[in-house]
Structure 1
Amino acid sequence: MKKAIIIGATSGIGQEVAGILVQQGWRIGIAGRREEVLRSMQQANPQQIEIQHLDVTKENAVLHLTELIDRLGGMDLFFLSSGIGYQNRNLEPEIELNTARTNVEGFIRMVTAAFDYFKKTKNGHIAVISSIAGTKGLGVAPAYSATKRFQNTYIDALAQLARMQHLNICFTDIRPGFVATDLLRNGKYPMLMHADKVAEYIVRALKHKKRVTVIDGRYRLLVFFWRMIPRWLWERLPIKN
């Protein structure tokens, strides 16, 4: 039976992916900050789910991840779904710094721990949810778009490092557009997708071990044109969301 660890499984995309993997017969270890949600999910499928309270911004997060892996009996897939993001036109420092703590510091902490684990076991699959926001710097959400670009680049670097070290580690960088989750609880967003449908796309991408996947086709087209916009023009666009 395949085994997956999902960080950020208590809501949104992570929770939906967890549900699909359980239906497909995986044993999963789920982690997040909301213990009551973790317990509820485990009660629904106690034979397939192990749980662990975990906050990626805390130094003990790696220890808690290791405990969860041990209880699960190992892992084949590490899936990082935790992340935060806010619109912050006024550049309130604490919002920017909190975003970096989760999306950069927490991201590094978790992904490097997974890399080290798979380096010891000789193979594995690391998947992360980043965002199409990493394509361009969004003036309404500077820290969010910058941290997502960081995640894209970090996974690129780890993929190269794995090849340099002759490791059989696969990487999947998942880049959704706007998804109706708690992350987008404020504001109106175009082409809004539902988390359950996004999770279906993700599970298919994981099955085929895609290196990078943009969800969905509308956003693939959008990103294609975004990349073609010169900097001088991008800086003058009135992005509102």
Structure 2
Amino acid sequence: METKRAIIVGATSGIGYATTMLLISKGWTVGIAGRKEDVLISMKKQHPGIIAIQRIDITSDDATAYLMQLIEKTGGMDLYIHSSGIGFQNMSLDADKELSTISTNVTGLTRMINFVFKYFCNHPNKKGLIAVISSIAGTKGLGVAPAYSASKRYINTYLESLTQLCTIRNIKNIHILDIRPGFVNTPLLRDSQYPMQLDVNFVAKKIIRAIENRNSITTIDWRYRIIVFLWKLIPRCIWVKMKIHI
């Protein structure tokens, strides 16, 4: 059976790491990227011949050149998983935090997904999967995290637009997945008091299932599906008057 090859950006911790380990257990060859080179090297040593590595900072202009190097090291790409993102509670509107969030979650993501989309377009005989870890935070504007929730809304809309673009251009070989977890127990939320935190390995299993089933949109866990449903029912004029603290 032909080896399946995945590229995971943001693989050195949290959801990206857990998903990497699960794909390896299922027989995938995986190319992993992140900014922590020491972690990348350690992961490769633990799984020689299965993992290829490349340090990539998605906020840098040269990120896609390094991504192409990683694809070549991995021997190709059937699946791209984007798990790279940051977020802050920022009710004081610290400008550096807002701009850093946009640089990573919007500009960096667009840079990488644009490249991957074109890569699969240039390989029309290869079925390509693009899976992005977004968030339920894109459902509504959250006053405690303005740039973060806005960036996640951008991701949701961008992926929807690319899916429609596939229809417009009659692109048959690309399938795009928008995966929306709630709070996940990862280093990003360590020592926090966020409610309903999901186990990261549980989330990774749900991600793999969404990939296998080609689910265009996946909100992970039934409790968050209920929350999102209820959020969508709240009119904007009421929502903006609600004092929501997370």
Task: Assess same fold via TM > 0.5.
Answer: yes
> For the residues of structure 2 that align with 1:213 and 1:76, how far apart are their CA atoms?
20
For 1:66-125, what per-residue CA distance to the aligned partner results, in whole angstroms no more than 9, with x for missing partners?
000011111000000000000000001110000000000000010001001000111301
For 1:165-214, what per-residue CA distance to the aligned partner results, in whole angstroms no more than 9, with x for missing partners?
22120010000000111222363111111111100110111111100000
The structure 1 residue matched to 2:179, chosen from 171, 174, 180, is 174
Local SS of the residue matching 2:72: helix
Root-mean-square deviation over aligned CA pairs = 0.8
Partner AA of 1:196 in structure 2: N
The structure 2 residue matched to 1:128, chosen from 126, 132, 136, is 132
> For the residues of structure 1 that align with 2:191 and 2:146, how far apart are their CA atoms?
17
Name 2:164's counterpart in structure 1.
160
- Aligned: 1:202 with 2:204: no
> For the residues of structure 2 that align with 1:150 and 1:184, how far apart are their CA atoms?
22
Structure 1: gaps of 5 or more residues = none
Q: Larger deviation: 155-164 or 138-147?
A: 155-164
1:26, distance to aligned residue in structure 2 (A): 0.2
Query: 1:76-155 maps to which residues of 2 (within 5 A)?
Result: 76-122=78-124, 123-155=127-159
Partner AA of 2:156 in structure 1: N
- Which 4+ stretches in 1 moved above 6 angstroms? none
Query: 1:206-217 maps to which residues of 2 (within 5 A)?
Result: 206-217=211-222
Local SS of the residue matching 1:6: strand
1:141, distance to aligned residue in structure 2 (A): 0.1
> For the residues of structure 2 that align with 1:49 and 1:142, how far apart are their CA atoms?
37
> For the residues of structure 2 that align with 1:150 and 1:18, how far apart are their CA atoms?
25
- The 1:146/1:186 distance shift into structure 2, 3 A limit, reads farther
The structure 2 residue matched to 1:190, chosen from 191, 195, 198, is 195
> For the residues of structure 1 that align with 2:146 and 2:155, how far apart are their CA atoms?
14
Local SS of the residue matching 1:180: coil
What is the total number of aligned residue pairs between the two structures?
Answer: 241
1:146, distance to aligned residue in structure 2 (A): 0.1
The structure 2 residue matched to 1:32, chosen from 34, 38, 54, is 34
> For the residues of structure 2 that align with 1:65 and 1:95, how far apart are their CA atoms?
26
Partner AA of 1:104 in structure 2: V
Local SS of the residue matching 1:126: strand
Local SS of the residue matching 2:137: helix
Amino-acid identity (%): 51
Name 1:63's counterpart in structure 2.
65
Name 2:243's counterpart in structure 1.
238
